[in-house]
Chains A and B, each alone.
Chain A
Amino acid sequence: MASFHLPAYQTALQTIQQSQLPHGGFASQPENQPRTDSTAWAVLALSAFDISDDICDRGRGYLQTQQHKNGSLSFSSNHPETSWPTPIAILAWHGVKQFQTAQQRAVEFLLDFTGAHFEKSSHSAIGHDPSIRGWPWVAHTHSWVLPTALAMTTLQIAGFPQHQRIDEGKHMLLDRQLPHGGWNSGNTITFGKELHPLPECTGIALQALASNTPMNQVEKSLDYVLGQWPSLQTPISLGWALLGLGAWGLRPANAEEKVLTSLDLQARYGPYSLPSLSLLLCAAQASHGLHSLFGHRSLSRQHSSSQ
């Protein structure tokens, strides 16, 4: 768990709180329009640190207003096919009774939703099996590692760890694991060459597989992230690597030090976008992967909401 009292966390949480717009949504950057993904991530980070239920509920309420009839939430209301923020919204609503129906509708959408899949031809240049179902970034396109891993993680937290889609997703992620370990966006081998792994994709895939896969099946990937760990400092890669390692009980001892260094690096990069900053804070607070953020809070909120 992160040391809440440290000024760096206080500043970061304040930044997020102050980014809330009048209708409850959060923008990615100051002076921008509210976004579903920014709002969901902001709610996750603030609630991970037990910051004001009111702010979080207003954020959740904004998300509810953005939900489409089919239960999904899209990045842009004009582009309903960009439904990749749906799993993050499900997490933001998780455990809060007044948003249970909205969450349920989003879960139903996610369980039904998949990418474009096809049988691999005998002369195909790609290494992976494109027929295995996962989740896409955008409707009608192929399934990729990040949206699949995020959907799987979310469905497990939302109470569907044994669902057939989790099994399929696991199958898909293991098929997309690189022979030498790690994941990238989702291409393993092209024209006979193994492609390079990426820490952010590997972290999130490890997070998704932590509670349903024997360690020996992902050992090389864990080694890859641990090998990358010393050089990671940017919020997305550091955040997902930390969540992935934490989910496997391998949270490095210097995790907090690295998170604080990353927060300091805003002096170099400028302020982080709200989703990146929120991811980093969630990773700081989640000692055993994203799942560990929900245990105590979801129960207490459910209890208090029903009183």
Chain B
Amino acid sequence: MSKIQMPQVTPALSRRELLKASLIGSGMVFSGFSLYQWLHGPLQTAQTFIGKAPNYQINFPTLILAGLRELGITAAEVQGKRILLKPNLVEPHKGLPHINTHPLVVQGAVESFLRLGAASVVVAEGPGHRHDTLLVLEESGLADVLYEDHIPFKDLNTMESHPLKNLGRYTNMDTLVFPQILQTVDWIVSMAKMKTHHWAGATLSMKNLFGCMPGNYYGWPKNVLHSEGITESILDITATLKPHLAIIDGVVGMEGDGPIMGNPIQSGVLVMGKNLPSVDATCCRIMGIDPYRITYLEKADQWLGPIRDSLIEQRGERWGTVHTPFRLQPDIPAHQGIRLG
């Protein structure tokens, strides 16, 4: 895997700036004003909604609509929009529902957006490990939900695709190839599962975007992205795609050897927000993981969104009240030293 390099968007300090900084830096420390703020302006803030969802029998449209309301997303904002929901269906197997975003959560999101007046809602995924996407739909249980309600589904692995300039530049890729549909919808909603991950530490709304990358270009299991570096690819994809919303299924998540072989853990929450790093950082805290120890979140901090607790306004439940430490595995290097202090 390639090593982390600073992205081009991060400005280098000129000599003059350094001198200026050194002259007035100490004064700013005392005033509570950081060098970062001086260079970049006020720190970014974000809102994250946590809703309690003790099981999959609850009314998800009601909860998701409440979350959207709390996040300030109004019907006027959704009306007429074409919405694409991207669940995590990395490798479904019958009897192992904790691997994938639950179909009822996806159904709840579809219903919520339609109730708010969305012009269309489509579900789309490019499964990371499996070539047979129709079997993925069947084994995840999503097929029954989709076909009963006539909700369209698109296979992102095999759709017509087009390159976009890589706006992250953490990897060596000049362009990223995305399925065309991602450029024709108004909102992309990353509907991830709350899971630990044996290479990245945690997989949430940002890592879920690997499933947007077509297998026809990147292989199965997204080989090019693994070669370029998982962390680097997560950052590049998020920076380039700029999804509009995240909804994380943490009703039953996965602890231990995620994203496939871990065990189910009931954390009983749905986490939502417009800013993906903030949502993922909040999920990490719920899981008992320090988001600053997850490299892609630490690198995304303030560049793609805030991950500092004090800069994330919690709507709904406070993360401390739903805190459910996920088991980390000592023999997995990516799990070492990431436990929230």
Residues of chain A having any CB pair with chain B under 8 Å: 28, 32-33, 37, 75-76, 78-79, 82, 84, 116, 125, 136-138, 140-142, 144, 146, 184-185, 187, 190-193, 195-196, 198-201, 232-237, 268-269, 273, 276
Contacts and interface: CB of A to CB of B under 8 A. Distances in A.
A200 B135 contact: yes
B129 A185 contact: yes
Contact of A144 (B155, B223, B260): B223
A273 B138 contact: no
Nearest to A78: B163
Contacts of A78: 163
B91 A196 contact: yes
B130 interface: yes
B135 A141 contact: no
B257 interface: yes
B130 A198 contact: yes
B198 A191 contact: yes
Interface stretch (B50-58, B109-117, B214-222, B239-247): B214-222
A269 B150 CA distance: 10
Nearest to A267: B147
B224 A125 contact: no
Interface size classification for chain B? 20 to 34
A273 B221 contact: no
A138 B214 CA distance: 12
B129 A190 contact: no
A197 to B, nearest CB: 10
Contacts of B304: none
B158 A237 contact: no
B332 interface: yes
Interface of B: 91, 93, 129-132, 134-135, 138, 143, 147, 155, 158, 160, 163, 177, 198, 215-221, 223-224, 226-227, 257, 260-261, 329, 331-332
Contacts of A28: 158
Contact of B217 (A79, A142, A236): A79
Contacts of B261: 190-191, 193, 195
Contacts of B93: 196
Contacts of A192: 331
Contacts of A116: 227
Given A142-B223, A190-B198, 13 more contacts: A76-B177, A116-B227, A137-B218, A141-B223, A144-B219, A195-B260, A200-B135, A201-B131, A236-B134, A236-B135, A269-B134, A269-B147, A273-B155
B131 A141 contact: no
B336 to A, nearest CB: 13
A-B CB proximity, top 6 nearest: A137-B219, A141-B223, A236-B132, A234-B134, A193-B261, A234-B135
Candidate in B129, B198, B226 with the most chain A CB atoms within 10 angstroms: B129
A193 B256 CA distance: 11
Contact of A82 (B132, B217, B260): B217
B223 A137 contact: yes
A167 B45 CA distance: 58
Contacts of B219: 84, 136-138, 141, 144
A136 B219 CA distance: 8
A125 B217 contact: no
Contacts of A32: 160
19 contacts: A28-B158, A32-B160, A37-B216, A78-B163, A116-B227, A125-B198, A137-B215, A138-B218, A138-B223, A141-B224, A141-B227, A190-B257, A191-B257, A193-B261, A196-B91, A198-B130, A198-B132, A232-B135, A268-B143
B155 to A, nearest CB: 8
Nearest to A139: B224
A191 B134 CA distance: 29
Contacts of A195: 260-261
A268 B129 CA distance: 24
Contacts of A268: 143, 147
Nearest to A79: B217
A121 B218 CA distance: 26
A68 to B, nearest CB: 16
A200 B131 contact: yes
Given A76-B217, A125-B198, A237 B223 contact: no
